[in-house]
Amino acid sequence: MFDRSEMIYLYVETPLHAGSGGSVGVVDLPIQRERVTHYPLVQASSVKGKLRSEASERANTDEQKLKVQVVFGSEEHGYAGALSPGDARLLLFPVRSLVGVYAYTTSRNVLSRFKRDLEAAGKGATATWTFDNLPDAGDAWTVDDKSVVTNQTVVLEEFSFKATQHTDVKTLADWLADNAFPQTDDYKYFRDKVRNSVVILPEDSFRDFTQFATEVVARIRIDQETKTVAPGALWTEEHLPSDTLLYAPLHASRPRTDKTPDGLKTADDVLAFVRALKLDRIQLGGDETIGRGIVRLRLSGGEQ
């Protein structure tokens, strides 16, 4: 098993396409989703691959390159890495709102899994919110009666929900602002917004929004000779919208090789190596050359 764990939070700044391959459905290139819930996610292999890529770009000496191999694994030398990221799961999903532009939506199911993951990572002590039941169908739990509420109603896309203030929604929203959102000045607006704009929806309603309120864009490739769409070069892509919040556990164990450099002997050293990278923004998923998939990172316990 793992010796130490941290949580990394990923705030989506530009639409994110973590693709699942082709599809015969309405969307040609859908995003990755969980099999049972159909919630969007970014698979662990993508998270680990990007972290390794970022670490490799910063490795300028033989010792630094060896550290990358120890942390992420070496096929050449036949040992696995000491760092094991999990899937980046959905925590908050933005949905267009009649009041307040958009709301950060979530559900009891999502929050219960998140709290379980926090406990498994040894970070659950500060997660003091509790929800003893579920919102009734057609109801939504909110922080207050004004930020995303009008006439005791929350209107998301074309659907309306009866708004009910719930004290633990405020507890949750404050925790997210303090622990999951970046703490830099450029995120002050978003920290303030999440404190008042979290909405907990009935589980079926939340699932439906995550399935049908994602961003779908049409892509084309122009034939340079005719200046028209090239044959077969019209397709649609699905993206996670900007302002989505994901989280992923980072599990660490003792390095799986005896040939380790100084300062990289324990699971704590492995997590310290990741923290020392000081990753701010990374690019996940496809469409890198058109600015898609820019995410802002925050490692649990970090100042940023």
Residue 110 corresponds to which tokens in the numbers above? 């999502």
- Whether residue 80 lies inside any domain: the answer is yes
- Among the residue ranges 64-68, 113-117, 199-203, the one predicted with the least confidence is 64-68
The reported pLDDT for the residue numbered 90 is: 98
The boundaries of the domain holding residue 40 are 4-94+103-126+198-216+237-299
> Between these two residues, 222 and 16, which has the higher pLDDT value?
16
pLDDT at 270: 94
Summarised one tens digit per residue, pLDDT across range 24-62 is 567 889 999 999 999 999 999 999 999 999 999 999 998
291: in domain: yes
How would you label 171-206 residue by residue, b for 16+ Cβ within 10 Å and e otherwise? ebbbbbbebbbbeeeebeebbebbbbbbbbbbbebb
Domains: count for the chain: 1
More confident residue, 225 or 196: 196
Q: Which residue has the higher pLDDT, 134 or 97?
A: 97
> What pTM did the predictor assign?
0.93
> Residue 279: what pLDDT?
92
pLDDT tier at 175 (50, 70, 90 boundaries)? very high
- Burial readout 271-298 (b: 16 or more C-beta within 10 A, e: otherwise): bebbeeeebeebbbbbbeeeebbbbbbb
Asked if residues 156 and 103 have their Cβ atoms less than 8 Å apart, the reply is yes
Inside any domain, residue 140: no
Q: Residue 84 corresponds to which tokens in the numbers above?
A: 């094991």
34 inside domain: yes
**pLDDT score at 303:** 58
Domain presence at residue 59: yes
Return the structure tokens found at 194.
Answer: 């999440």
What does the alpha-carbon distance between residue 240 and residue 17 come to, in Å, rounded to a whole number?
6
**Residue 224, in any domain of the structure:** no
Residue 292 maps to a domain: yes
Most confidently predicted of 105-114, 221-230, 252-261 = 105-114
Residue 173's pLDDT band, with cuts at 50, 70 and 90, is very high
What span, in angstroms and rounded, lies between the C-alpha atoms of 120 and 184? 28
* 220 confidence band (pLDDT: 50, 70, 90): confident
Of the two residues 29 and 303, the one the predictor is more confident about is 29
Q: What does pLDDT average to over the chain?
A: 92
% of the chain at pLDDT higher than 90: 73
In a domain, 38, yes or no: yes
What are 154's two structure tokens?
Answer: 């929350």
Q: At 89, is the pLDDT very low, low, confident or very high (cuts 50, 70, 90)?
A: very high
Q: How far apart are CA 99 and CA 101, in angstroms?
A: 6
